[in-house]
Amino acid sequence: MATPSGSSTVTRWLTRAAWIIPILLVGLSAHQVWTGLALRETLQQGTPAEAEITDFFSSGRAEIKYDYVSLRIPMDDGTVITRERMSLPHTLIGVAEDRETIGVRVRPGASQEVVITEVANTQWRIAFMNAAMSLVLGLVVGGGLAWWSRTLRTEGDPATRGVDAPDPSHPARQVSS
């Protein structure tokens, strides 16, 4: 069934539903900015400490992304903070390999309470790069959807535009017998 502008109800519904993609991408971008700021804040304002590595896992394969390190962090005030299975990108997990201790920054109560000093600069930069890529992609997809929505509204669905009868010279407009 075609609407007065010539586009089908299903096409319009799908076009409206597709807006979830740029919305999610912009949301992901905002989350990555927040994560990057939290990592950088803990790195800059956290208390330096030496953490004991209690567990280490590296898959040895770049396509398997779940590498982690578990830490036991004795603080100057006598408290002990433990972090189980802190995920690290496969390319950065090597800083903890074959080590018993590693330098960390600790900021209790922050969204990123513990960061590994050697990789935190890289991690917050990666988060900002992810944010930039997500934002650009969200804007491109949003711009494309806005153009497509306007085209549907003004010119109708191109799949049905101007088709009144089968066209023998066009393979998509053939009628099978």
> Residue 98, Cβ neighbours under 10 Å: how many?
7
pLDDT for the residue 2: 44
Q: What is the pTM of this model?
A: 0.77
> Residue 68, Cβ neighbours under 10 Å: how many?
17
160, amino acid identity: T
Residues 138 and 144: their CA atoms lie apart, in Å, by 10
- Hey, is 166 helix, strand or coil? coil
Q: Along the 177 residues of the chain, how does pLDDT read in single tens digits?
A: 444 444 577 888 898 899 999 999 999 999 999 999 999 999 999 999 999 999 998 887 767 777 899 999 999 999 999 999 998 888 888 888 889 999 999 999 999 999 999 999 999 999 999 999 999 999 999 999 999 999 888 887 777 766 666 677 777 666 555
Alpha helices in the chain (DSSP H): 9-17, 20-45, 117-155
Residues 140 and 15: their CA atoms lie apart, in Å, by 15
pLDDT for the residue 74: 95
Which residue, 57, 51, 31, 36, is CA-closest to 123?
36
